[in-house]
Structure 1
Amino acid sequence: MGVTVLMVAEKPSLAGSIAQILSNGKSHYRRGAMDVHEFDGSFKGQMARFKMTSVIGHVYSVDFHSKFNNWDKTDPNELFQAQIVKQESNPKAHVADHLSREAKGVDYLVLWLDCDREGENICFEVMDCTVRNMRPAAAQNPAQHILRARFSAITAPEIRAAMGSLGVPNEAEALSVDARQELDLRVGVAFTRFQTRYFQGKYGNLDASVVSYGPCQTPTLNFCVERHQAIVSFQPEPFWVVRPHVSKASSKLDLEWDRGRLFDQEIATVYATMVREAKRLRVVDVTEKEERRHRPSGLNTVELLKVASAALGIGPAQAMSTAERLYTQGYLSYPRTESSAYPPNSDLTATCALLQRHPLYGDFASSLLAKGTINTPAGGTNAGDHPPITPCASASEAEIGGGDAWRLYDYVVRHFLGTVSPDAVFKKTKACFQAAGEVFYAHGAMAQKPGFTAIMPWRAIQSEPLPKLVEGEYLDIKEVELHQGKTSAPDYLTEAELIGQMEKHGIGTDASIPTHINNIVERNYVKIESGRRVVPTELGITLIRGYQLIDPELCKPQVRAHVEQQIGLVAANKADKSSVVLHTLQQFQAKFLFFVAKIGRADALFEASFSPLSSSGKPLSKCGKCRRFMKLISSRPTRLFW
């Protein structure tokens, strides 16, 4: 008599793909709340009946007990200690009941959830639904009967290797997600409820249904507002640059003044006159040297999001969603990774060989393999989570489906091939000139070996050679220009720059960064303008300025970075989850009470930008109770006021 093995993946499509691989294409499925793929095989040396099904992300979410959900009857301060409950994330899907039914009488549970902290947390949610219905041995000896598969790509070798090296789920990482969920719920909802009721009760044209606060969302907005404040407070300052115009062999030389720029016109004029009177520039030194532009490191999530926004015009939320779909379809490896260095056991040659027959990349991949020039980048960081993002299959634009999916896939393939290509080599020339004691430089470059830039042409060195120059020769000065310019204000942050700031300061994770940016857009705190620049709205600016007046730490990244550090200690099993949550909540509750007491400091800011309720809206009808005329306020949230 054999054993029964229940296996659970994170998405229905993954369940189907994994079942097809492990059954050698012989699985069949039956319909249910989630499809169940069944096949026979062996497990731990015994005949086995496998059932492969899935969840659809988190089975449960956390929320306050229903008695705390009435905004009018609950003081937001109570939410720091209020009872919270876990409830089904998608009650209509009946995932918990489905898992419970499928677990009846099974001998083993194999968890195929995504291999990150969120995935570990979902492992324990699945266990909550299943273990009680499994055979008694599972509860008595969970380390032998409840197993965890770890993988980074939906390919046959990877899936079979994971099946052959099953481990156990990581409870510490799961608890770290519980800690983050509880902290974000309590802190975010307490502040959000208070400031929403306060500001909507006083101002009529906020154009926001909820004036939300988020421990990650608000520091993200703060980066955008700080840049806006730098722009509006910027005072341009005039400067002057001496620019002699010379040429050699019909080539005009673009000269750089050693002094850069001067902010005193009279002194700059003296230097310009001296150079003009010299009439000639003398070549005092010419140096040539070979330099390299190093091939890129492996591609991690943050870099992919930055490139998608800056070069492909794809917003981070859309880019993440698209990359995850390409992963579940087997085209890319797991797209949520902090690592930019390939682990020592990576078979880069095999990945390159996948692309040999591709109409676009095949010739390049074949040339690398033929020359034996598969290189591993020296740089990058191995964060110990997943390897960098790489292609897992060769696919045409038609197979991918075109659009954003194809452009993202195309970039990942080119980036991967770039990482295993030789460095680009170029010759750099630097010429030094003097006139009246003033020093000027000219620079030239000439590509020698394209290396990785042959597949990533946007990274290529532009060949701009200098004409032949000989040390000691003189060049006639045709004109000396005293160029006047002005210092310019910085531009608004682009999405790519914002992502970089969030990564640098530890705001969010590689997977949650797109969500936080999307939230401040949906809350009408920022708008995405041309060039994917993130421009704060009046509401976003006023809100951050209010925090800056009351308690600047509420919007500074250092506070959230500290929280993430504490959560990381929980994940590493170096800190107790309950102690971290309690300590952090005590700190935020003290800040909340101070914020409530000092909220009046923000009123002057809001009064300057938004109209009071008394002067907002249009008369609509009389109140049936007090008989006073009510006004309809049509801006978000639509409401009646009297």
Structure 2
Amino acid sequence: MESYLKSANEYVPVFFSRDPSSWSFANAFLTNKFSKWSHDIKPKIEQNWTMRWPFAHKEITRTDSSYKLACMLRIGGKVLRKLEQHQRSPQVASSALGFGPQMAMQLAERLYTQGFISYPRTESTSYPPSFDFGGTLAAQVKNPTWGTYVHDLLAEGYLKPRLGTDAGDHPPITPVQAATEDMLGNDAWRLYQYVCQHFIGSVSPDCKYVRMKVEFAVGGEAFYCTGQYVTVKGFTSIMPWLEVNEKSLPHFTKGDRIEVSRVELYEGNTAPPDYLSESELISLMEKNGIGTDASIPVHINNICERNFVQVQAGRKLVPTPLGISLIRGYQCIDPDLCLPDIRSFIEQQIALVAKGQADHACVVQHVLEQFELKYCYFVKQIDNMDTLFEAQFSPLADSGRMLSKCGKCLRYMKYISTQPSRLYCSTCEEVYHLPQGGVIKLYKELTCPLDNFELLIFSMPGPEGKSYPLCPYCYNSPPFEGVEILSGSTKGGNASKFGKGAGMPCFLCPHPTCCHSVIAQGVCACPECSGTLVLDPVSAPKWRLYCNTCNCLVFLPEGAHRISTTRERCPDCDSTIIEVDFNKNNTPLADGSTLHMGCILCDELLHSLVEMKHGKSFRMRVSGSRGRGRGKARGGFRGRGRGRLADPKMSFRDF
């Protein structure tokens, strides 16, 4: 079934089976018996002999072994050519290489940026008249796999490709320079290898082969068999996966009578159509005018990430209960949303606008009016969608586990761990979205001073993952105007719009008295960006600071019993003074004491014990002159300052 899910301002295609009528066709499929004859004749032919005319299953009641001779009726042959055909790169990568379309485009873009292939986001199959075929082929002569073939092709003369389609964007994908597997890595090399072989095959001769067909009669029924052999391999020499499957036949003469050694009736059952593979989905999208080489991988990746389908063995796209329920809901309310017609029509109109054959304003106005009408109608019928989902899924109130208290009703909310993870208050009937990709726990039963919600702690995976507290209500509805939010947490990336999944954790909160805000836990300005280094509250015993904007990490003295921020400021750089309680067994203090207060930028002892990690490289602290004045300190660090944007970015070379 071909379906289009309206989400995030786009129609996302979902193809559930080969049959375009309904996904339920596969589940409701009724199997029927079928029969076919199998004969062995002398000399034996290793082929399937097929009946020339169909017959009804009810007419076959027994196998008759009285037929001993087969009479040759007709023998014929035909010389055929197999032509090299263009296929979309994501389609080939999925079917032949086993890559998903999104992965294929990512690999192709990497090869392009490294200068190994031409621009990959193209739909053209026609080369410009000035294209240098000889130079492109010459760059592949030294390749150990196909270099000899390319050398012979240049010597004998290559053939220019047949006229294809000029989509007006970019030329077809071609290799730009030679490469090896060691240079590219396994996956990128396989894709690069296909691009090279496809280009070389496109300028190679056609494959020529002869197909033979033999017909004979047994007991009044006609059967036939075909065989074929290659005369010129042509482009299949460089593209062996497209070579002709040769089948040899013995020599026969019309009228020959040959002994039948075995007659067998095989019975089987018909099977429902299989699910679509990614490559078949791409073909259907192309056939229905949906998407381009640039957008098709994104569409397929979206329906996988949103759990509408799952990629299983053979790159088959199998619908999930969520996807099936969503499609059935669309079919019940507005069947147009399940058909490719809307998206195809819009793309056709866009193409006409590009050609100057349609007015841009009229097209936009018409499409917006249609969407508005469909949206209003859908909202009025939304109860039908709820009914279908309730029949398939358990209510949200019955899911999850108790985690934290709601600040409105003071009752426990349930944590739904399935993606996307969220909190649900069954009393208030409110859903609170949470950060994704980490672990959510209750944070010491502490509460937010603004709304009385219990705080949570979010921990990213891995030894370098950040941990930060958040208030569920503030995270979804930031209480301050103009405050920054987590990058990409709102749809469209607009940080000025709050609401669903807005994303303001405590390290971005500017509340002046909250002990979890950036005012209380911030230490100094980040040396790599305009952010602030904040104390990680649960990083003990490997204490550290993290930037609330970038991936910068600053490791503090390891093994300390406790590290906390204070209300005091450094008089030189205005950074926050921290208090460190060292372990008595390895305290660095000369008198053996364990408690020490100071600025990590200006204090000699603390500055010698910190180190920074950014990305995958460590940069250790080296000695430097003492910084003076407000806003700059030793080692390239900036002081806390009165605002994160007050000081210009400084180098971290001396840290």
In 2: Cα distance, 1:519 partner to 1:488 partner: 30
**424-433 or 374-383: which moved more?**
374-383
In structure 1, give the amino acid aligned to 2:53: R
Q: Deviations over 1:377-420 (max 9, x none)?
A: 33632323222111111222222x22111001100110111111
Counterpart mapping for 1:344-359 below 5 A: 344-359=129-144
Find out whether 1:334 has 2:119 as its counterpart.
Answer: yes
The aligned amino acid for 1:305 is P
In the superposition, relative to structure 1, how do residues 632 and 375 fare at CA in structure 2: closer, same or farther (>3 Å)? same
Q: In the alignment, is residue 257 of structure 1 matched against residue 51 of structure 2?
A: yes
Q: Secondary structure at the match of 1:426?
A: strand
Counterpart amino acid of residue 342 in structure 1? Y
Distance 1:456 1:287 in 2: 29
1:382 counterpart (166, 178, 188) = 166
In the TM superposition, 1:159-558 aligns within 5 A as 212=7, 214-218=9-13, 228-248=23-43, 250-260=44-54, 262-265=55-58, 267-269=59-61, 272-273=63-64, 276-297=65-86, 303-372=88-157, 374-378=158-162, 380-399=164-183, 401-558=184-341
Q: Which residue of 2 aligns with 1:587?
A: 370
> How far has the Cα of 1:244 moved from its partner?
2.1
In structure 1, the residue matched to 2:595 is none
Structure 1 unmatched ranges of 5 or more: 1-187, 193-211
More displaced stretch, 341-350 vs 235-244: 341-350
Displacement after TM superposition at 1:584 (Å)? 0.8
Asked if structure 1 preserves the Cα contact closer than 8 Å seen for 2:109 and 2:120, the reply is yes
Q: Is the 8 A contact 1:258 1:438 kept in 2?
A: yes
| SS of match in other structure, 2:61 | helix
Deviates more, 1:374-383 or 1:409-418: 374-383
Check conservation: 1:332, 1:390, Cα contact below 8 A: yes
Compared with structure 1, are the counterparts of its residues 393 and 627 closer, same or farther at alpha carbon in structure 2 (3 Å cutoff)?
A: closer
Would you say the 8 A contact 2:211–2:226 is kept in 1? yes
* Counterparts in 2 of 1:268 and 1:340: CA distance versus 1, 3 Å: farther
Q: Could you give the per-residue CA deviations for residues 316-343 of structure 1, whole angstroms, max 9, x where no partner exists?
A: 1111111112112221111111122323
Q: Determine helix, strand or coil for the equivalent of 2:375.
A: helix
What is aligned with 2:635? none
The change in CA–CA distance for 1:605 and 1:253 in structure 2 (over 3 A counts) is: same
The secondary structure found in structure 2 opposite 1:320 is helix
User: Residue 550 of structure 2 corresponds to which residue in structure 1?
Assistant: none
Change (3 A) 1:396 1:632: closer
CA 216–640 in structure 1, closer or farther in 2 if over 3 Å, else same: closer
Q: Equivalents in 2 of 1:471, 1:436: separation in Å?
A: 17
When residues 604 and 358 of structure 1 are mapped into structure 2, their CA distance, relative to the original with a 3 A threshold, is: same
Offset at residue 622 of structure 1 (A): 5.7
Deviation at 1:485, TM superposition (A): 1.3
Deviation at 1:436, TM superposition (A): 2.3
Distance 1:228 1:219, change over 3 A: closer
Find out whether 1:638 has 2:427 as its counterpart.
no
How many Å apart are 1:551 and its aligned residue?
Answer: 0.2
Instruction: Provide the rounded CA distance (Å) in 2 between the counterparts of 1:222 and 1:252.
Output: 34
Amino acid at match of 1:321: Q
Deviation per CA, 1:601-631, whole angstroms, max 9, x where unpaired?
A: 2233212210123433334566554354544
Q: Distance in 2 between matches of 1:252 and 1:222?
A: 34
* Aligned equivalents of 1:516, 1:413: Cα separation in 2: 27
> What's the counterpart of residue 441 of structure 2?
none
Give the Cα separation in 2 of the matches to 1:638 and 1:627: 18
Do the aligned partners of residues 385 and 479 (structure 1) sit closer, same or farther apart at CA in structure 2, a change above 3 Å counting? same
CA contact (8 A) 1:282 1:475 kept: yes
User: Over alpha carbons, which structure has the higher Rg?
Assistant: 2
Q: Answer whether contact 2:16 2:275 (CA < 8 A) is retained.
A: no
Could you give the per-residue CA deviations for residues 307-363 of structure 1, whole angstroms, max 9, x where no partner exists? 101110111111111111211222111111112232333332222222122222211
| Separation of aligned partners in 2, 1:425 and 1:488 | 36
**CA distance 1:223–1:574, shift in 2 (3 Å):** farther
Q: Take 2:47 and 2:416, find their aligned partners in 1: how far apart are those partners? A: 64
State the TM-score, normalizing by the size of structure 1. 0.62
Q: Contact between 2:207 and 2:232, CA under 8 Å: does it hold in 1?
A: yes
Contact 2:17 2:23 in 1 (8 A): no
Q: How many residues align?
A: 422
Counterpart for residue 170 of structure 1? none
Partner Cα distance (1:501, 1:247) in 2: 45
2:78–2:211 Cα contact (<8 Å) kept? yes
Q: Identity percentage over the alignment? A: 45
SS at match of 1:391: coil
Q: Matched residue of 2:42: which SS?
A: strand
- Whether the 8 Å contact between 1:239 and 1:486 is mirrored in structure 2 is yes
8 Å CA contact retained: 2:16, 2:276: no
Could you list the per-position Cα deviations for residues 417-463 of structure 1 after superposition, in whole angstroms to 9, with x for gaps in the alignment?
Answer: 11111111112111110122211111111122211111111111122
Assess, with a 3 A threshold, how the Cα gap between structure 1 residues 402 and 619 changes in structure 2: closer, same or farther: closer
Where 1:269 maps in the other structure, the secondary structure is: coil
CA offset at residue 253 of structure 1? 4.4
Cα deviation, 1:12-54, whole Å, max 9, x if unaligned, reads: xxxxxxxxxxxxxxxxxxxxxxxxxxxxxxxxxxxxxxxxxxx
Contact 1:617 1:633 in 2 (8 A): yes
In the other structure, the counterpart of 2:596 is none
Per-residue CA shift, 1:468-517, capped at 9, x if unaligned? 21221112112211111111111111000111111111222220111111
Q: Partner letter of residue 638 of structure 1? A: R
**Local SS of the residue matching 1:216:** strand
Cα separation, 2, equivalents of 1:500 and 1:441: 33
Contact 1:493–1:533 (8 Å) recurs in 2: yes
Provide TM-score, normalisation by structure 2. 0.61
The amino acid across from 2:133 in the alignment is L
Q: CA shift at 1:567, angstroms?
A: 1.7
Deviations 1:185-228, CA, capped at 9 Å, x for gaps:
xxx9xx98xxxxxxxxxxxxxxxxxxx45532156689899774
Match among 568, 589, 606 for residue 351 of structure 2:
568
CA distance in 2, matches of 1:434, 1:603: 62
Residues 334/619 of structure 1: CA separation in 2 closer, same or farther (3 Å cut): closer
Change over 3 Å in CA distance of 1:637–1:222 after alignment to 2? farther
Amino acid at match of 2:10: P
User: Is contact 2:17–2:275 with CA below 8 Å preserved after alignment?
Assistant: no
Letter in 2 for 1:256: T
Partner of 2:379: 596
CA distance in 1, matches of 2:254, 2:201: 39
